[in-house]
A and B are shown apart, each in its own frame.
Chain A
Amino acid sequence: MRYRLKCTVCCVLLLSLLCIVITGCGSRTELNEISIVSASGVDWKDGKWVMSYQLVLPQAISSHGMGNSTGAAPVNVFSTSGDTIRGAISKASYEMSRRLYFSQNQIIVVSEQAAEHGLTNLFDAYLRNPDSRETVSVFLTKLSARQVLEHLIPLEEIPGEAIERMSLNEEKNGSTLPHMSMYRVLLDLLGPTKATGVASIDISGEDPLNSMQKMSKTYSSSKIKLGQLGILREDKLAGWISHTNSYGVMWMRNQIRNSSLWFPCSSEQPAEQAVMRVNRTKTKLKAKKDGDSWKLHVQIRAKGTLLEYPCDSDLSKPASVEELEKAAAAKIAMLVQDSFKAVQGVKADILGFGEAVRLQYPKEWNAMTSRWNEEIFPETKVETDVQVTIERTGMSTDSFRKMQSKAGS
């Protein structure tokens, strides 16, 4: 009995010792041995991939102790180049004392040139490596990616995170541009129509000051902004559409979450615009076969609140509200028509039209999959069925102008 006990104790001790020796704390990384990448950029220059990294300098950010008083920039940007993306990344060890840590990467910015060259390498790297997360947000830019990473954002300490939040905020409260995570991009590109739209980042204005000097001013002459919608087909950039058209695309893709929609408030006063806050919408896409050609039927149901109303109608009467609703519906229909044409121009179906066809007419779809984006989609037509309900007209019924004229009489 006692002998057995001794044996067991020895075994356990030996095994645990072995564990320590074998692993040797091998995969252990202390927090001060890694450099956290908050944003990365992909450029294509002279036949080589140029990867840029925005590294967070924790000392400059943290509120504790000496904190930000040194005035050091909160991030540091540098680039490496190579024939492949991962190859370029591995060259980072030539100039970095710490391991690049990608798991906390918030955004990845892809330049126009790189996107036109094709992003197969990038997507594959993201699918294959555990430390590159698919939750990272993807953006395109017409500038070089490095320029975007170098730009500081007022109020925010980590630009990479700020850009992601900006995009999320846009999607949630404006809904003109989609917030695309790598996961959603891959899902779309591996979907039936192999196309997707990704928002771009622009820098507006020129600023002679460097980023840190800017921090001491109350305004910034150059700013990071969300721009247009870049359309990717297969793995390449196929073209751009304006953000107004992007807004129409969002309506069609049922991605409106909260949005301000403005429209002419009455036929008598076409210059006056009413604004409504769209709270809930539901879009249904249906494909219709129309002889040889195809038709997309877009059914939209939207509900919202009136925010601005400069016209004269008496909103206490249901009829005039109904008129207003019709005007809003017409505006949505117009947006949809316009953006449909714009997307057709790029020859990449990012609307979910192909998906609708595939679900309803699987046989026909199989036969024309390969020709869809290039040949069939540009020839299709769209028809809209939009109904808008204005649920509340706000705290006042009459417009300010009407109240004024009443007061005068």
Chain B
Amino acid sequence: MFGSNKGNRNGNKSQPQARADGSKLEPLSPNLTASLQSIRAKLGNSGDVMIRALRSDAMPGLEMAVVYIRAIVEEDHIHQNVIHPVMGWSAPLEPATWMETLRQRVISTGATKLIHSIDDAIYALLDGQCLVMTNGFGQAVAAETSGGEMRSVSEPNTQTVIRGPQYSFNESMTTNVGLLRRIVRSADFRMKTITVGRKTRTSVGIIYMDQIADPKVVDEIERRINEIDIDGILESNYIEEFISDQTFTPFPTMMNSERPDTVASSILDGQIAILVDGTPFVLIGPATFFHFFRSAEDNYQRFDISSFLRILRYVAFLASMLLPSLFIAITTFHQEMLPTPLLISLASQREGIPFPALVEALLMEFTFEILREAGVRMPRAIGPAISIVGALVLGQSAVQAGLVSPAMVIVVSFTAISNFVTPQISMASASRLIRFTLMLLAGVLGIFGIMAGVLFLLIHMTGLRSFGVPYMAPFAPVYNQVWPDMIIRLPWWARVYRLLATSKVNPHRQQGGRPSHQKRK
């Protein structure tokens, strides 16, 4: 079934020439009224289908019509480049070649095409093209006139930097590809378009660098996207869940970014970007665990501070995953591990607290998660109210009321803040989920439980693959040339190798070595 679709979808903004089941397409009737009637009927007599009857000076005896769907075309464009030239065309011509002439000489839009069937006509209309039809010809000319309102390119909302480009993708794939093209002005820049979604017919673009990306991975991604058979694709996460190697894992195996510079640097590293029409978030794969701790800004700041921040992110990730569980384990199972003054201080805080440490921690964690979710969901105007309720009422009063100990509040808030350090939100969410599991394990088995949990995670992670790339690469397996650049950020002249372990095609980013003026004579 997928095989038969494949050929069609690979075409540019395909209009199927034959139905999936192989039956013949219904041809356009030579009778204009009949054709218009059937197009209208197919579209359910929708009010936004515009039909403009006209006659051309060239063929005064012929009835003609221009058909388009109002909201998804640029009407000015149609007036100037379709209707006006058609009406004003007066050069003599052979009536039999009228449609050909229309397509080639009269209509002055970018792309034109002759259409023979009702279905193709419908698809063309839905794609924002306009149809020019003439009575007596079983054909229509489709002219590319798509347009309509679109958010302009603006500052990134979720992945901000202090230094670096300050613009982000918007919801139009055409714009997004343009933004990328403008950064990577190379002939090796490749894009494959696939239409996915039975009803939405969303364009999905695979963008990669020829000679850098692994062609096998490109083919595999293409194959997986082609397999998708769903009515609608509204966001890139649809695609991510369909094509990622494993569904049942807390760890994401594809990154996403709304920053053109991040995507550009990824494709230069041999990764492959997947753009989805209708969302500014671009998928990037293959991605290993360590890719998720790289921020765009790392490349724009001095290498020393970038390295420090990168290490800090790893520490914060571990803290956000482990801190509450370690606290529970140590205070309920391994009190001997604490220095006496600390133990006494913690013990005095716990006096009179009615719940076990585990319950106390879960209570606070859930409270925080609720606050956080409320903060995201809430209308912006009430935002400050939540922070007051959250910080003062729940934090301070809970302590004063003796429901939770102050140390627990510190632990939970530190954990929560650490969680925001991870640049990729999908990875931060992973640590949120794992945290709860580890807390339960810690509450039941102490540090032994945490060790068991962490070991399980490690085993799981080493088994994960992202489009065939081991998730823990470059550490398991070890790729010596790449791993220093994963922990710290080397100075630019030392970053000789492209990051992705699969990038065997063209592994060198540059010749490398110190700049000549820095070399000792």
Contacts and interface: CB of A to CB of B under 8 A. Distances in A.
A64 B336 contact: no
A101 interface: yes
Interface string B339-352: 01101111111111
B108 to A, nearest CB: 56
A64 B248 CA distance: 45
Interface stretch (A20-28, A360-368, A378-386): A20-28
A58 B345 contact: yes
Given A20-B444, A23-B445, A64-B406, A30 B350 contact: yes
Given A36-B340, A104-B336, A62 B443 contact: no
A23 B340 CA distance: 28
A103 B333 contact: no
Interface string A51-73: 00000101101111000000000
A352 B351 CA distance: 49
Contacts of A62: 344-345, 348-349
B344 A61 contact: yes
A161 interface: yes
Nearest to B405: A31
A34 B334 CA distance: 12
B335 A101 contact: yes
B343 A104 contact: yes
Contact of A23 (B356, B406, B444): B444
Contacts of B344: 36, 56, 58, 61-62, 158
Contacts of A396: none
Given A19-B444, A23-B445, A25-B444, A31 B336 contact: no
B344 to A, nearest CB: 5
Given A5-B248, A31-B346, A34-B335, 13 more contacts: A19-B444, A25-B444, A27-B333, A28-B332, A30-B356, A31-B343, A32-B347, A32-B350, A36-B343, A59-B348, A104-B336, A106-B340, A131-B336
Nearest to B345: A62
A216 interface: no
A9 to B, nearest CB: 8
A25 B349 contact: no
A29 interface: yes
B333 A28 contact: yes
Contacts of A106: 340
- By Cβ-Cβ distance, the 7 closest A-B pairs, closest first, are A58-B348, A62-B348, A103-B336, A58-B347, A31-B350, A31-B347, A32-B350
A81 interface: no
Nearest to B337: A103
B331 interface: yes
B333 A38 contact: no
Interface residues of A, number: 29
Contacts of B444: 19-20, 23, 25, 28
Given A36-B347, A58-B347, A29 B333 contact: yes
A31 B347 CA distance: 5
B322 interface: no
A158 B341 CA distance: 9
Most buried by B among A28, A62, A63, A133: A28
B400 to A, nearest CB: 9
B383 to A, nearest CB: 32
A103 B352 CA distance: 23
B357 interface: yes
8 contacts: A27-B446, A28-B332, A58-B347, A59-B348, A59-B351, A62-B345, A103-B335, A133-B336
Nearest to A66: B348
B353 interface: yes
Nearest to A21: B444
A29 B335 contact: yes
Nearest to B452: A19
A36 B351 CA distance: 13
A38 B348 CA distance: 15
Contacts of B347: 31-32, 34, 36, 56, 58
Most buried by A among B335, B336, B348, B446: B348
Point out which of A5, A36, A133 has the most chain B C-beta atoms below 10 A from its C-beta: A36
Interface of A: 5, 19-20, 23, 25, 27-32, 34, 36, 38, 56, 58-59, 61-64, 101, 103-104, 106, 131, 133, 158, 161
B335 A31 contact: yes
Interface string B311-341: 0000000000000000000011101100011
A29 to B, nearest CB: 6
Contact of A30 (B345, B348, B357, B446): B357
A25 B358 CA distance: 11
Contacts of A61: 344-345, 348
A25 B351 contact: no
A158 B340 contact: yes
A348 B344 CA distance: 41
Query: Which among A29, A30, A63 has the greatest number of chain B C-beta atoms within 10 A?
Result: A30
A307 B351 CA distance: 51
A2 to B, nearest CB: 12
Contacts of B336: 103-104, 131, 133
A153 to B, nearest CB: 15
A126 to B, nearest CB: 15
B349 A64 contact: yes
A40 B79 CA distance: 98
B352 to A, nearest CB: 8
A104 B335 contact: yes
Interface in B469-521: none
Contacts of A161: 340-341
A106 B343 CA distance: 13
A62 B342 CA distance: 10
B345 A64 contact: yes
Contacts of B345: 58, 61-64
A2 B353 CA distance: 46
Nearest to B344: A58
A20 to B, nearest CB: 5
A331 B206 CA distance: 89
A405 to B, nearest CB: 54
B336 to A, nearest CB: 3
Nearest to A26: B444
Interface in B433-461: 443-446
Given A25-B443, A29-B332, A36-B340, A58 B351 contact: yes
Contact of A28 (B340, B346, B351, B356): B356
B349 A38 contact: no
A96 B357 CA distance: 22
B303 to A, nearest CB: 43
A245 B5 CA distance: 100
A38 B344 CA distance: 10
A29 B328 CA distance: 11
A28 B443 contact: yes
Nearest to A161: B340
B221 to A, nearest CB: 23
Contacts of A31: 331-332, 335, 343, 346-347, 350, 357
B24 to A, nearest CB: 39
Nearest to B331: A31
Contacts of B248: 5
